Structure 1
Amino acid sequence: MGKKNKKVTVEEPEEAEPTTESGFSQFDLDERILKAIGELGWEKPTQVQEGLIPLALEGRNILARARTGSGKTAAFLLPVIQNVLQISSDNEEETGPFAVFIAPTKELAAQIFKLLTQLTSPFPFLQSINFAEMDETNVEVMLGEVVDMIVSTPGRLANAVASKPALFNNIRHVVLDEADLLLSFGYKDEMVAIKDALPKMYQSIFTSATLNEDMDDIKSMLVTGPVVSLKLKEGQLPSSDQLTQYRITCNSDEERFTILLSLIKLKLLVGKSIIFVATTDRCYKLSLFLQAFQINACILNAQMPANYRCHVVQEFNEGRYQFIIASDMSDIGVSNQDDAKDEEEAADGEDGPPAKKPKKKKSKKAKPGSRKLDKESGVARGIDFHFVSNVVNFDFPPSTEVYIHRVGRTARGYNKGTAISFATPNETSRAAEIEADIAEITGENRLLPYEINMKDFDAFFLRSREALSAITKSVIREARLAEIKREILRSKQLEAYFAKNPREKAVLENDRKLFKVNLHSVAISDVPEYIVPKPLRGMDFSNSKHKRPNMRKRKQTPAQKKQKAKKSDPLRSFKF
């Protein structure tokens, strides 16, 4: 029987048949599901939804590739909810869970669970749970509850199955979102444990923006029966009418910082923007650099706790920050040694040639501000950032796949967007390879050169150099320690402890920074007319947040005019 399950056949790609009905009513979904869809404001299904939903309702095994932002999450949630609803009504004695949704990262799991909760709000009898947002103790408790659907990362799910082997006895639907990452993230052992706990027959749905036909490992591991490969004509990237892509060539890392500063200060980069960097330290360095010029940005990286990462994403989506600086090392699937190598390359001469550092394996004491990377963290893959106008590849992506997923954070749905990628001399060869791959995928040269005349930005360059020289390694370390202190003070688990020990809380709150960004002039963030390039002069580049609202000028009385004239006359206002 085991050999029979491993045999996988792939049918020809299928296309959704044209229907006379429009909207989601064409899928014969429950009226209460259609009501939930209406409350979310969805008017018509996207291309991936039109192709995937009918096949999923038929119980077919599906391997679907659709670009980021095309509505993949709803495409697999809607038919699974419909089928689970049917199962629960037909078999009252049978208990769940009936469906499991597996995501490679905690952020993506939280996003899936949020949408699942919204779509099942009309069904109070359908219970769902997200293991990824719980600690081990809570998972143990929730295993005693009866639920219909589970959302989780592989690690938490494997632990749950180990604690309760019969958990998946009645599973009918297994969904893998961003399926191509589950093995590249090092989840092979967890996926094997999950497979061993699954029944002999169930429906499998795999989705991603970059699924390849060569997925024999994951298919042979989890698929039972034939597979329908669903490819959409829309391609992996939006059209050039929807997504504009630029490439900026820089001669040094200082130029890279200068150009980004100029684009923001001169209001050439308008709207919410995600800025991708290579490493965690680069997150803090760029954040401190922008803060020196009174540009606020939030940070997102794999070393933050899962709850804090979700909080940052929420704040950005709510519009509290215009810029978010993100590193996606765990999305690349590199080891810690590779991370260190990438960090040295990304520095591009900022501190001279890197010195050889001896390996310290015996010491268990962590460096101040350092944390263990969370492999269940992801930034470039899957997360739904709302209304992003621009994606900036501050450090050029390491591969075509990462480039596609980074750029996919903008131009989602029917919205337009812009992608800007910086490339320094040591990134030129990699940029050329990725550019050639994108041209092959899309059939045209899509990365347009963004011409920059650095002579126009000489004043910005001098200011950038001053700020960068002030952002030392000690300052970056202090910034990371400050973030840890904020997390400790914000922790709900420590509220009772701080209530009993107020002095320790006061010490953390009043602890002064040992190192900070020291600038010669506080006016470094101003944009006077003389540093603005000639074609842009005459525009208002002042910080609108610091402008006072326009007030009506009240008419002065004769006594007030007399008093004002007296104060302005030095002979009359002089006093001994």
Structure 2
Amino acid sequence: MSFDSLGLNADILRAVEEQGYREPTPIQRQAIPVVLSGRDLMASAQTGTGKTAGFTLPLLQRLVNKQPHAGGRRPVRALILTPTRELAAQIGENVRDYSKYLDIRSLVVFGGVSINPQMMKLRSGVDVLVATPGRLLDLEHQNAVKLDQVEILVLDEADRMLDMGFIHDIRRVLAKLPARRQNLLFSATFSDDIKGLAEKLLHNPEEVSVARRNTASEQVTQYVHFVDKKRKRELLSQMIGEGNWQQVLVFTRTKHGANHLAEQLGKDGITAAAIHGNKSQGARTRALADFKNGGIRVLVATDIAARGLDIEELPHVVNYELPNVPEDYVHRIGRTGRAAATGQALSLVCVDEHKLLRDIERVLKREVPRMAIPGYEVDPSIPAEPIVNGRQQQRGGGRGNGGGQGQGQRRGGNGGASSERSNAPRRPSRPQGDGAAKPAGANARRRPARKPASA
């Protein structure tokens, strides 16, 4: 099957061809006809499957087919909501590439940068708006954008948005949209929470799934190496050096851990940079660009900061620390082995993380193969210590550990939600993304001071 057979117009096909795409992926073959038909869609697809084109191409087609009323400022006709800055930027780039021969204006808005230029661009009118939830609500609150003429709503990576506590913001956005619209929901998994959201959002949707629930790509070769916590960095440096790995994405649980590891790798003679929510958007963009063009060999990232990273033919992903939520393991290693490429995912597991590994293997429904490098045998006398950072505490009903990565905090998304609203007025009705626990007693309802953005 070719893109020509999907019912897309010549200008869109021309743009697709210029991007080097010849045949649609499975998710594109299934999703594009559904979107073109005007039906609501609930789609499950792993990262790297081409799902972004699965909704942007038919979305553009529908906008072109149904021209808005002449005169006046262009209203926002398509709204794409994403959980993080990086993913928003990536989708925005795709929309621009695919619409280059169309009379379509698009804009990307997210936090961590000044809100004023975004307001200026919105005044001139845009057809397609790609946004993170918090910044979108800030813009709407300042009357910079109206959402009453949205024809198509896309929730991308809906599972991640729910995990990050965006459900209340999503509901606020939905309340500002017209009742008659097309809804497209994309998620890596169909959890019970996602199904609950879909029941309220979608109307008689078509369901599309191109991967079994919570499965890892078969193109990714996975390994586990048991190693003492204090020797992880030494082992990682040795493997990068001896294997001559030139491009490695490494995951840590915390922002501090990402900074420290990048610094230590640098001392080992391995060029590295860290990205997380406390980094400015400019610093994150530069680090990613350096990583893509070979300026640095290792990019150390927290989960949220890495969400939406699009790195072609990434050969190596390393879990320096296992995620607290097993589904995040699938998202992490999905950074490699994308499309038709192959990749390797290595997890360095210390005694503290044995339960996390068992949880991951339960999701995968198989054991991850073990490997061992002589000289890094585990010291059996070292006791396991509890892991308190990250989303494990959050899922237990807490707000997350303020010293942790902030994964899954309320408003902890957009790649750093606190900074997302740095240029907008505060509104007490919306939760902050600082990840700190609320004070108890009489002060429980007081708004906490703004803290640095979480990863």
- Which category of TM-score, normalised to the shorter sequence, fits these structures? 0.7 to 0.9
Q: How does 1:54-69 map to 2 (within 5 A)?
A: 54-69=33-48
TM-score computed with the length of structure 2 as normaliser: 0.78
Q: CA deviation at 1:222?
A: 3.3
- Counterpart in the other structure of 1:542: none
Which whole-Å CA distance do the structure 2 matches of 1:73 and 1:130 have between them? 15
The letter for the 1-side match of 2:330 is: I
AA in 2 matched with 1:297: A
DSSP 3-state at the match of 2:162: helix
State the Cα deviation string for residues 212-231 of structure 1 (Å, max 9, x = none): 254255335533x2122211
- Residue of structure 2 in register with 1:452 after alignment: 373
Deviation at 1:211, TM superposition (A): 3.1
One-letter amino acid of the structure 1 residue matched with residue 56 of structure 2: L
CA distance change for structure 1 residues 306 and 222 in 2, over 3 Å: closer, same or farther? farther
* Paired position in structure 1 for 2:242: 266
Distance 1:257 1:140 in 2: 45
Q: 1:256 matched to which residue of 2?
A: 232
Which stretch shifts more, 311-320 or 26-35? 311-320
Among 246, 255, 276, the alignment partner of 2:223 is: 246
CA contact (8 A) 2:216 2:364 kept: no
**Letter aligned with residue 249 of structure 2:** I
Matched residue type, 2:141: A
Q: Which digits, 9 at most, give the CA deviation of each residue in 1:55-86, with x for residues without a partner?
A: 01001111111111000111010000000111
2:255 alignment partner in structure 1: 280
Contact 1:272 1:387 in 2 (8 A): no
- In structure 1, which of residues 404, 422, 427 is the aligned counterpart of residue 348 of structure 2? 422
Counting only pairs closer than 5 Å after superposition, residues 273-312 of structure 1 correspond to structure 2 as: 273-312=248-287
> Offset at 1:44?
0.6
8 Å CA contact 1:238, 1:411 repeated in 2: no
Distance 2:158 2:235 in 1: 37
Spell out the pairing of 1:380-419 with structure 2 (5 A cutoff).
Answer: 381-419=307-345
User: What is the distance in 2 between the residues matched to 1:128 and 1:265?
Assistant: 43
Would the alpha carbon gap of residues 452 and 29 (structure 1) be closer, same or farther in structure 2, given more than 3 Å must change? same
Instruction: Give the partner amino acid of 1:112.
Output: I
- Which one of the candidate residues 37, 40, 43 is aligned to 2:22? 43
Matches of 1:166 and 1:326 in 2, distance apart? 33
| Partner amino acid, structure 1, of 2:265 | L
Report the CA distance between 1:259 and its aligned residue.
1.4
Higher CA-based Rg? 1
Deviations 1:367-407 (A, max 9, x none): xxxxxxxxxxx31x322123210100011121211101100
Counterpart among 223, 226, 230 of residue 204 in structure 2:
226
Matches within 5 A, 1:65-104: 65-88=44-67, 91-92=69-70, 95-104=74-83
Q: Which amino acid aligns with 1:385?
A: I
Distance 1:186 1:451 in 2: 39
Counterpart of 2:206, as a letter, is: V
Alpha-carbon offset, residue 166 of structure 1: 7.3
Q: Which amino acid aligns with 1:222?
A: L
**Distance in 1 (alpha carbons) for counterparts of 2:301 and 2:159:** 22
**What residue number does 2:114 align with?**
135
Q: For residues 174 and 108 of structure 1, what CA distance do their matches in structure 2 show?
A: 16
Deviations 1:223-244 (A, max 9, x none): 3x2122211246654554x211
**Paired residue for 2:94, among 102, 115, 119?**
115
Q: Distance in 2 between matches of 1:455 and 1:435?
A: 23
> Among 162, 166, 169, which residue is 1:187 paired with?
166
**2:363 counterpart (427, 434, 437):** 437
Partner Cα distance (1:455, 1:382) in 2? 34
Counterpart secondary structure, 1:245: strand
- Which structure's residues are more often helix, by fraction? 1
Alignment of 1:203-218 (within 5 A): 203-218=182-197
Question: What is the deviation of 1:105?
Answer: 0.7
Offset, 1:315: 2.2
Task: Determine which structure has greater relative contact order: mean sequence separation of CA pairs < 8 Å that are 6+ residues apart, divided by chain length.
Answer: 2
Query: Equivalent residue of 1:143, what SS?
Result: helix
Q: Aligned equivalents of 2:350 and 2:297: distance in 1?
A: 26
Distance 2:237 2:145 in 1: 56
CA deviations 1:291-312 (Å, max 9, x no partner) are 2221111211111112321222
Instruction: Confirm or deny: 8 A CA contact 1:179 1:211 kept in the other structure.
Output: no
Deviates further, 140-149 or 274-283: 140-149
Alignment size in residue pairs = 376
Local SS of the residue matching 2:262: helix
Do 1:178 and 1:382's aligned partners in 2 also have CA atoms closer than 8 Å? Answer: no
- Where does the alignment leave 5 or more consecutive residues of structure 1 unmatched? 1-21, 332-377, 458-576
- Give the CA deviation at 1:92: 3.5
Letter in 2 for 1:194: V
| Counterpart Cα distance in 2 of 1:230 and 1:272 | 33
Q: Secondary structure in 2 aligned to 1:449?
A: coil
